[in-house]
Amino acid sequence: MSGRLLVSVSSIFDQTRSAADRLISDLRADGIEVSLLVAPRIDGDWRLAKDKDTLTWLEQQRERGHELILNGFDQAVQGRRSEFANLERHEARLRLTGAIRQMQKIGFEFQIFAPPRWRMSEGTFAVLPEFDFNVAASTRGLHNLDTGEFLACRNLSVGEGFGAAKWWRKNVIKAVTRGAEKGNTVRLSASARNLTNPKVAADFREAALAALDLGAQVQTYSQAAAQLA
């Protein structure tokens, strides 16, 4: 049985956009669609609303059919923790409301939510039905918020609070290969911060191609969640 391959890139802003673009273009040429995790604020003073070049680039990616996923509100606050990892309902609601409003002002709306580093508190998950999300993704897997169905599939990350060293990347490639051979859903994600290193980008692409070569079917998060209905 063929499995699924879901690929995503996060932490896209002015200093990482070029590296993300190179990888996404390479994977597109390989027949692999990449979902883009987007946040209105990253790294202190950076604001998507004020970065016209990144705004234009994201609009172009959306026109090309790349799926956009809301990836939090203000990643700069997380420090060693993840922004939505421990929030109670009230704070999660406030942050989600702020993120959605800021993104709507610049022309972006989202059906999918994935917290930074995929770490989602029970309070965050509990308030998601108050918004217009159809899908949520966490470290545990994929949630169809319309039906309540859940697909267990852990994420294999390069960067994003996880490793990016050579030994880690090799382990990711091995884990991808094992999962694809079993026909499992393979979720691969990378922080664009780490993709500025050509060796990291090359190994991440190798991992995605390994799953593809073993018969995994490329899907977006929305496509995979729709199959849970």
Q: Please give the domain boundaries of the chain with CATH numbers for all domains.
A: 4-226 (3.20.20.370)
pLDDT value at position 81?
64
Q: Give the per-residue pLDDT at 116.
A: 92
Mean pLDDT of all residues in 130-137 = 95
Which element (helix H / strand E) includes 34? strand 34-38
Residue recorded with tokens 């079993």: 182
Other Cβ atoms less than 10 A from the Cβ of 18: the count is 12
Per-residue pLDDT for 131 more than 80?
yes
Structural contact between residues 139 and 104, judged by C-beta atoms closer than 8 angstroms: no
pLDDT of res. 76: 55
Asked if the model's pLDDT at residue 136 lies above 80, the reply is yes
- Closest-CA residue to 149 (of 135, 133, 132): 135
Q: Which pLDDT score is estimated for 229?
A: 65
Give the chain's radius of gyration (CA, Å): 16
Section 204-218 average pLDDT = 97
**pLDDT average, residue stretch 4-30:** 96
Cα(202)–Cα(204) distance, integer angstroms: 5
Average per-residue pLDDT in the chain?
93
User: Is 60 exceeded by the pLDDT of residue 1?
Assistant: no
DSSP code of residue 151? E
In this prediction, residues 166-180 reach a mean pLDDT of: 96
Summarised one tens digit per residue, pLDDT across range 21-68 is 999 999 999 999 999 999 999 877 899 999 999 999 999 999 999 999
Question: Mean of the pLDDT values across residues 71-77?
Answer: 75
Summarize pLDDT for 90-126 with one digit per residue, the tens: 999 999 999 999 999 999 999 999 999 999 999 999 9
Cα 109 to Cα 68: distance, rounded to the nearest angstrom: 9
Residue type, 18: S
Is it the case that residue 184 has pLDDT exceeding 70? Answer: yes
Average pLDDT over residues 57-86: 85
Average confidence (pLDDT) over 199-223 = 97
**Strand duo 34-38 + 4-10: pairing:** parallel
Q: Which of 56-60, 67-71, 82-86 has the lowest mean pLDDT?
A: 82-86
Rounded to whole angstroms, how far apart are CA atoms 29 and 108?
A: 26
CA distance 135 to 144: 5
With a cut of 80, say whether residue 78 has pLDDT above it: no
Q: What is each CA distance from 62 to 2, 13, 30, 120, 122, in whole angstroms?
A: 28, 16, 18, 25, 30
Residues 6+ apart with CB under 8 A from 52: none
The answer on pLDDT for 137 being more than 70 is yes
At 79 the pLDDT is 52
Q: Is the pLDDT of residue 216 over 70?
A: yes
Dihedral angle of Cα 58, 83, 164, 37, to the nearest 10 degrees: -20
Residue percentage of the chain with pLDDT more than 70: 96
The three-state DSSP-derived secondary structure of 75-125 is HHHCCCCCCCCCCCHHHHHHHHHHHHHHHHHCCCCCCEECCHHHCCCHHHH
